[in-house]
Structure 1
Amino acid sequence: MFLKVLKKKKVMKKLLSTVLISTMAISGSAIGGTFHKNTYAAQKHTQYIHKTEQVTNGQYFSKEYEINTKQAGTLSAKIVVKNLGCDFHVSIYGSNSKFYLGNNNIPTLDLTSDKNRNASGVLKTDHIMYADVYKVLIQCKSPAQANGTITTDFTFQPSSCEDRDYLRLNSNDVLDSAKSHDLMDRKYHTYMLSGFSEQQDSSDCFDLYAKKKVTMSLRAKTVSNINHASYKINVIRAKDKKLISSMTPKKALSTKLLHLSAGYYYVQVVANNNALRSDQQILYTIYMAKARKIKSVSLNKKSLALYRLPGYTTGKLISKVNGKKSNSNNVVFRSSRSNVVSVSKAGKLTA
């Protein structure tokens, strides 16, 4: 598909360039605070709680804040101590016995008072945590030397992970307890594998049923991978446990088209050697659905004039697949002459 781009200087001298924009269609298709979230899908926006405490001269300060996250994500606490002249110890822990006070793996922070009797620091979790009632404990190591304040800003960053709580942690670890998945479900799902001590989940299994011969589109990518764990996605025929296909997801979306006969199948996402180290965690996105035949791919414009003048340097391409508006996972734009005009994943042109 060709797109003609007019490139003009301020003197309006025409410079005609023909730029090839290629489109690729993919086949198929206590005192505390609560971060309110009750639905299954994760919120996109960071959420905050702010607390300020007054501390008097000679007082020992010790306070525990409850943070009910309601979903998976990361938690941090920024502490600012003013005029107290004492050191502090801060801890984050949850209700899980392996992520509780006394365990060496919980996040801790020591704040040391400076010559102006102030101290500050940020304590945060080093991996995605499951939904829980977390507690942030702030304790001074000696009495306050003067009247002052402790200000704490709690920040919760939600994750796109659908494995949101401990109840679902090991529900589909093996083939015999695989989670049922409908081949007509044309949605991308994000799940997590983890070796951290309170999570311990090194595999996810899904079962599929094909009523008749079908072409399945299997797509996957790695969203995040703490400490570079190795893992793969296996497709296994249920009746004889035969491996049909295997792929190793990358940061970019990978796609495989699999021709399946009628019957039951498993999709197994598993760490290599079925084990993750205690400092490894994988967040991945997967799509498993019956492929749709592509009959047509079209763009909203056959040609477009762009100028090197304010307000005229950009344009927008909108693609349709089989007559319906597509998304960045279905159509990929590329420019053959990016020095003349570049194109983004979303189809934005810039001269």
Structure 2
Amino acid sequence: MGDLGRVPVGIIGASGYGGVQLVRLLVDHPRLELAYLGGESSAGQAFSDLYPHLGHQVQQAIEPIDLNRIADRCQVVFLSLPNGLAFKMAPTLLEKGCKVLDLSADYRFFDLATYTAWYGGDRTDKDIAETAVYGLPELYRDRIARSQLVGCPGCYPTASLLALSPLLKQGLIVPETAIIDAKSGTSGGGRQAKTNLLLAEADNSLSAYNVARHRHTPEIEQICSDLAGHEVLVQFTPHLIPMVRGILATVYATLRDPGLVREDLLTIYTAFYRSCPWVKILPSGVYPQTKWAYGTNLCYLGVEVDPRTDRVIVMSAIDNLMKGQAGQAIQCLNLMMGWDETLGLPQLAFYP
């Protein structure tokens, strides 16, 4: 099956921003073949009708969602769907032998009670959900490599957790003091017509939203608790910033040892991420910019210590559609296939 030994891959929900990023990455990937594009509202349309700029490379039409047909044609399926749809499809695909990577929230939680509390819905797939692995390779690389079902992280949690993980794992901070202040570009809102995302509304403006109740909060807390070894609550505030791509998360926390200085923490971060090709620790006094990650799967981390307040400040920059979504999903698939996790993923930003 597949072309020249390439692995055939399908995308369900190919018409959104996550879907089109996946298409771009799959077409360029040396070991993967784009075998199926599926959707409901756009079924029957040529993909190039939705995205004319890809017409010279992608001649496929978007097909109706038929799980049996998809499983016959694909070894791997990406579910790039709104929350609450993937869990109705994944069990069938897994049963038929497909590897499944879900880009929604459906398989991100260790405990389904957390999912239903924040997202609602009746889950009847408890046994399947328990086999899912949280798709943050920098923390769960070995589990991902052995998994058939990966719940790919949200974009805010990816940026936030990469900033926080060394601090929590090494017990360097008082966990309850962690505050995450994050800004995201408008593509994080998806490809729908929303008043607050119109150019006239969003441009020249900066605003917080879903304060104290954003759905990514329990996802961040779950992994923080796993790292710390006990339940951890964090304060997370997202903001909409008038640009298309990128997230900058600035994380504050109180140090347990006020004697730690910036160089100590840079050494700790460099060691923690030494085998993580997609995380770049910036030199002393250099702070990340979202543009540096634009179009890549990279996460840039800058670290600072304020000796007056005994706080550590970590800044994390990613492209929300890449390391925050489609790029990270491909990174996970590379691990699941036993390949190098950098395979087929862009490492150089569009700049300026």
Q: TM-score, normalised by structure 1?
A: 0.25
The answer to which structure, 1 or 2, has the higher relative contact order (CA under 8 A, 6+ apart) is 1
Hey, which of these two has a bigger chunk of helix by percent?
2
Give the number of the structure whose residues are more often strand, by fraction.
1
* Structure number with larger C-alpha Rg: 1
The normalised TM-score by structure 2 is 0.25
